[in-house]
């Protein structure tokens, strides 16, 4: 009951922050400015100095990358689920292009030396395709990327949606290609009826991985159930943790996320939000911030920004119920 009340209080307190229409947000800070990147034409970008008031910036891409047009038939430039991070003097922006409901999908990466569009050095350089999934060949889907650099300085890319779950692949130095020899792991999945067609994958509703390192553990957040259905959305965020970035990721009860486990972090309450999911966690100014999108009851299920502080209780993330 205490945790349920915390969820309800949280949802009430973030109402003032939830007016920004957004989907699949990630956040990072450069100097005194926070930046949000999200699904949209050319990748949507917003900036803020106070985490309350957001300004729309120019999209990352003014024209769709040619390699993406070639790889995904019917792709028109609507880019999904970006992931932003900073390493060795550069910002790395991974992103997904896909045919909806199919695993005809690719993950690309672009780099920039700054996020300040007024800086003369500002320029997104697209490095092209990193991973591709092909129907009939792959039982995984190359969308929803997330970069994690482990304690040894090795880069890994987590990604996946439905099909056979969430994958983790080791990246080469430079973080722009898969390492050779290849090293792949399954880090989360849900049971699936393999008699279902690939276009359905309805019983394997897991996606949007995000790995965050804290206190000697890697925490894998994933979203269960369904997004993108307005008031019928059922999205929620669960988590597991591991001492090894490769897993196994176990929930509070010791159940592996590969076996369908996952401890609840956030879900809709049916009063303020129908559902909430596709999260990211980012550290700034001595705080850990949780961002995701929720389906707003007061706006007929439109997708809005949710942003709150994360607290750590007994080694597990709890979304802060305060303002």
CA distance 315 to 313: 5
How high is the pLDDT of residue 11? 40
For the question of residue 24 being annotated catalytic, the response is: yes
Annotated active-site residue in 24, 83, 164, 251: 24
13 has a pLDDT exceeding 50: no
Q: Which CATH architecture has domain 2-319?
A: 5 Propeller (2.115)
How high is the pLDDT of residue 195? 62
321 has a pLDDT exceeding 50: no
10 has a pLDDT exceeding 50: no
Query: 246-300: per-residue pLDDT in tens?
Result: 999 999 999 999 999 999 999 998 889 999 999 999 999 999 999 999 999 999 9
Annotated active-site residue in 83, 144, 207, 320: 207
5 or 310, greater pLDDT: 310
For the chain, percent of residues with pLDDT exceeding 70? 89
Mean pLDDT (whole number) for 69-79: 94
Closest C-alpha to 95, from 51, 33, 21, 157 = 157
Domain ranges within the chain, ordered by starting residue: 2-319
Contact 163, 204 (CB under 8 A): yes
191 or 312, greater pLDDT: 312
Q: Bridge partners of 147?
A: 157
Query: 187-244: per-residue pLDDT in tens?
Result: 999 976 656 555 444 567 999 999 999 999 999 999 999 999 999 999 999 999 999 9
**pTM score:** 0.91
For the question of residue 207 being annotated catalytic, the response is: yes
Average pLDDT taken over every residue of the chain: 90
How high is the pLDDT of residue 16? 38
Closest C-alpha to 245, from 317, 313, 158 = 158
Contact 196, 205 (CB under 8 A): no
């Amino acid at each position: 009951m205490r945790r349920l009340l915390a969820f309800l209080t949280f949802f009430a307190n973030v109402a003032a922050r939830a007016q920004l229409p957004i989907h699949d947000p990630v956040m990072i800070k450069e100097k005194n400015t926070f930046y949000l990147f999200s699904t949209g034409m050319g990748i949507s970008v917003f900036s803020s100095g106070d985490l309350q008031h957001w300004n729309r910036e120019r999209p990352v891409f003014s024209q769709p990358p040619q390699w993406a047009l070639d790889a995904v038939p019917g792709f028109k430039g609507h880019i999904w689920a970006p992931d932003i991070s900073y390493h060795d003097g550069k910002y790395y922006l991974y992103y997904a292009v896909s045919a909806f409901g199919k695993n005809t999908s690719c993950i690309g990466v672009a780099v920039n030396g700054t996020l300040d569009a007024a800086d003369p050095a500002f320029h997104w350089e697209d490095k092209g395709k990193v991973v591709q999934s092909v129907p009939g060949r792959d039982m995984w889907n190359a969308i929803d990327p997330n970069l994690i650099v482990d304690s040894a300085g090795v880069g890994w890319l987590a990604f996946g949606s439905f099909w056979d779950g969430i994958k983790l692949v080791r990246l080469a130095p430079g973080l722009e290609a898969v390492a050779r020899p290849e090293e792949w792991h399954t880090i989360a999945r849900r049971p699936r009826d393999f008699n279902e067609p690939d276009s359905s994958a309805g019983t394997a509703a897991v996606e949007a991985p995000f790995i965050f390192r804290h206190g000697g553990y890697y925490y894998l957040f994933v979203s269960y159930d369904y997004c993108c259905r307005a008031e019928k959305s059922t999205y929620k965020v669960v988590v597991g943790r591991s001492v090894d970035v490769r897993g196994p990721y176990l929930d509070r009860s010791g159940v592996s996320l590969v076996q369908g486990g996952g401890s609840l972090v956030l879900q809709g309450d049916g009063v303020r939000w129908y559902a909430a999911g596709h999260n990211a966690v980012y550290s700034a100014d001595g705080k850990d911030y949780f961002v995701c999108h929720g389906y707003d009851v007061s706006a007929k299920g439109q997708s809005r920004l949710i942003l709150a502080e994360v607290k750590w209780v007994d080694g597990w993330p709890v979304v802060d119920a305060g303002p």
